[in-house]
Structure 1
Amino acid sequence: MKIKFPLVVVFTMATISSFATFASNTAGGEEQWQIVEENQTATPAASKPAQSSQKSNQSRSSSRSSGGNSGFKIGMGLDQGLSIVGQINNTVNFAVGNDGVAADYIFSRGQFGGDVPFSWFAGVGGQIQRSDKFGPRVALGVELPFARSWDAYAQLTPNLMFDNSDLKLGIGAGIGVRYSF
């Protein structure tokens, strides 16, 4: 059975889009936890000041950040072959590898909510590969901070490649580990 490649790309993008929409709809809810010792009653959540929930959200988001203050991350990965990968100011991902170069502007980010340690991102960019191939691409992926100043990522990159006078639709993938300075 031969499946048409454009259908696979459309299905993949629709699935990721649905997942991102679901995540953004569920991530907005506030979690409210209270420790109640024996022989005490719980105080209603409405009596807590709004600042404490904002502080807890800030501390939760800062605990998920991968550290570093300069906004520059660099590491190794597989994107354009074996690549040096990086990120600038949490908005531009790039890869320079054996098979070419790529850069993506990240226009949207979000959390899956709850205790899920992953965050998602979506971006647009382009790539230039050896042998005169070039074209635009979309980056859809997840990031996981796993240690102080370290994060890992995985992404799918549907793309259009111009090769001489041909136009080819394709999909790529990338994984990598980065250190934040």
Structure 2
Amino acid sequence: MKIKISSIAAFAVVSTLSFGAFASATAGGEEQWQIVEENQAPASTQAAAKPSNTQSKPAANSSNRSSRSSGGNSGFKIGMGLDQGLSIVGQINNTVNFAVGNDGIAADYIFSRGRFDGDVPFNWYAGVGGQIQRSDKFGPRVALGVELPFAKSWDAYAQLTPNLMFDKSDLKLGIGAGIGVRYSF
């Protein structure tokens, strides 16, 4: 199994950022992390705020999410990264990630996204898609990643992409990775 430099770099970035978040969360005391899906409020918010009426308020949850998003109004992001070799990477309407690079093309439909509760600045996502490589290899893949909005209209991401590649008559199971920076228009 070949390990590409981009796979190693993505693993190093995710590991470093995860360790940094873990160290800062445990150094000052105990902090609990909770994974929250996009259309749900955190459990601590649900328990602390019990409204007198039975109607839910989705606008409050969406405004909380938008404060962590990376700005921009058109729903289109573009940037540079390492996915299919050196690549032009992008995102359309927060649902389709794509990469066009030296080694091929890839696209992923993001079916689930959320954020970590607490002071964790990352948002997570999961998706499915496919890739075509220059050497006549193609196949489906799964995208599991994190995004970090770091400035107005800018975000960085890192993802792991387990895949199944068809190469002539061979079938190979592998894992890829991608990292990149995008600007939102």
TM score, norm. by length of structure 1: 0.73
Q: 1:95 to 1:47 in 2, by over 3 A?
A: closer
Offset of 1:58 from its aligned partner? 3.6
Name the counterpart of 2:97.
Answer: 93
State how far apart, in whole Å, the 2-side matches of 1:67 and 1:127 are. Answer: 28
Cα separation, partners in 2 of 1:80 and 1:157, compared to 1, 3 Å: same
| Matched AA of 2:105 | V
1:132-162 CA-to-partner distances (Å, cap 9, x unmatched) read 0000000000011010000000000000000
Q: Which has the higher contact order (CA 8 A, sep 6+)?
A: 2
Runs of 5+ unmatched residues, structure 2: 1-33
- Supply the RMSD in Å over aligned alpha carbons: 2.5
Correspondences of 1:13-162 after superposition (within 5 Å): 23-24=35-36, 28-31=42-45, 57-162=61-166
Larger radius of gyration: 1
Distance 2:45 2:129 in 1: 36
Contact 2:69 2:149 in 1 (8 A): yes
1:160-171 mapped onto 2 (5 Å cutoff): 160-171=164-175
**Is 2:185 the counterpart of 1:177?**
no
- Per the normalisation by structure 2, the TM-score is 0.72
Match of 1:117, SS state, is: coil
Q: CA deviation at 1:30?
A: 3.6
Is 1:158–1:170's contact at 8 Å kept on the other side of the alignment?
Answer: yes
Q: Structure 1, residues 90-127: CA drift from partner, whole Å, max 9, x if none?
A: 00000000000000000010111122111110000000
Equivalent pairs: percent with the same residue?
80
Contact 2:41–2:61 (8 Å) recurs in 1:
no
